[in-house]
Amino acid sequence: MNALQQAEKLLRSMTPAEKAQLLQWVARDLGEAFSGIESRPGVCGGEPRIVRTRIPVWVLEQARRLGTSEADLLQAYPTLRAEDLTNAWAYIRAHGEEIEGQIRENEEA
């Protein structure tokens, strides 16, 4: 039995109050997630990047700061979609200091 099947079985045995508490935990946990952005050790140095690609979020932000338009980014990175840029900008708004640090680190390298 996989984890999802176990969760379904457990969910059936829970009271409405327990389900509500579980829902709050899941919502809080998902609030930290950003669709289309992932960080994995060993891929792009563990920096947040666009899924399906090796494009770090900080690279997109630095390009934007230097005046590159979204259209130019999409042309320069054929695997990139407009939705990916939307996800990247949302991630940057929530994690500005982290991205700023990555930009700084890479400029100093």
Phi-psi region of 57 (alpha: psi -120 to 50; beta: other; left: phi over 0): alpha
- Does 47 share its domain with 5? no
- Does 72 share its domain with 42? yes
The tokens of 27 are what? 């919502």
- Does 53 share its domain with 11? no
Unique residue bearing structure tokens 């407009």:
82
pLDDT at 31 over 60: no
CA dihedral 42, 100, 92, 106 (to 10 degrees): -40
Contact 22, 14 (CB under 8 A): yes
Greater model confidence, 24 or 96: 96
pLDDT at 77 over 80: yes
Looking at residue 25, its pLDDT comes to: 78
Domain count, the chain: 2
- Band (pLDDT 50/70/90 cuts) for residue 13 is very high
Looking at residue 34, its pLDDT comes to: 76
What's the domain range around 13? 1-33
pLDDT at 63 over 60: yes
Greater model confidence, 81 or 26: 81
Contacts of 91 (CB under 8 A, 6+ apart): 34, 37, 48, 57, 99
- Does 41 share its domain with 54? yes
- Does 29 share its domain with 42? no
Phi, psi for 93 (deg, rounded to 5): -60, -40
- Does 43 share its domain with 91? yes
Greater model confidence, 104 or 1: 104
Global model pTM greater than 0.85:
no
- Does 97 share its domain with 47? yes
Contact 51, 37 (CB under 8 A): yes
- Does 25 share its domain with 55? no
The tokens of 35 are what? 């669709």
pLDDT at 65 over 90: yes
